[in-house]
Amino acid sequence: MRLGRVRAPMSAAILALGSLVAVAGCATSPASARGLSGAQIKALDPDLLPAHILDLSVDVENVTKQLHNAQNSYVDALTLFGLRRGSLLIATFQVSQLTSLARVSNPAFQQAFVASIGGTTPVEVRLGGTDVWLTTGTDEQVSIWFSGRDLLVLSVRNDYGPQRTLIRQLLAVRP
């Protein structure tokens, strides 16, 4: 297991955390159903990713502070990976296991969540057999997809060359 280093994750990853909370506010689930607080969110297996992907080293990020304020969240468990070249953070990869309150297979739910991330209207493409939404953050490209009950959000610096190869490799991740 790799030790998490306390670093500031990229903005889109934090956005994704925030959206998972915000979306819960407009849930189609019964009004009595409540999401989880940050303290209830568990960590996922940190060995989901290998130690290196392409030319990047992989570490688990510490997101305790970001999760601390979360309330009414759709997330059961979450891990944020940082992908670095040397000490430079190139990308973050957030894997979130959603609660049963989240209607993951409902296109309206997916679109509501996806629309809440990024600075441009998300564009949907199919890569292999997976539907991926592409959008942009501040100086970063954001890719979002669902796998079963899991939500995966990849944020990559604009100046990283093989962005699409990186997405393709991470699409193979099965939490």
By C-beta, is 26 or 123 nearer to another protein? 123
Mark the segment that binds another protein (CB under 8 A) among 12-20, 36-44, 59-67, 157-165: 157-165
Query: Which H helix or E strand runs over 20?
Result: helix 11-25
Q: Judge contact between 160 and 151, C-beta under 8 A.
A: no
Q: How far is CA 30 from the centre of its chain?
A: 25
Q: Is 1 in the site for another protein (CB under 8 A)?
A: no
Mark the segment that binds another protein (CB under 8 A) among 30-38, 66-74, 108-116, 120-128: 120-128
DSSP letter assigned to residue 17? H
* Residue 67, CA distances (Å) to 8, 10, 111, 159 in order: 13, 15, 23, 29
By C-beta, is 6 or 123 nearer to another protein? 123
Q: Is 165 in the site for another protein (CB under 8 A)?
A: yes
Q: Is 79 in the site for another protein (CB under 8 A)?
A: no
Residue written as tokens 């997976």?
Answer: 130
Which positions touch another protein (CB under 8 A)?
Answer: 54-55, 123-128, 131-132, 134, 161-165, 167-168
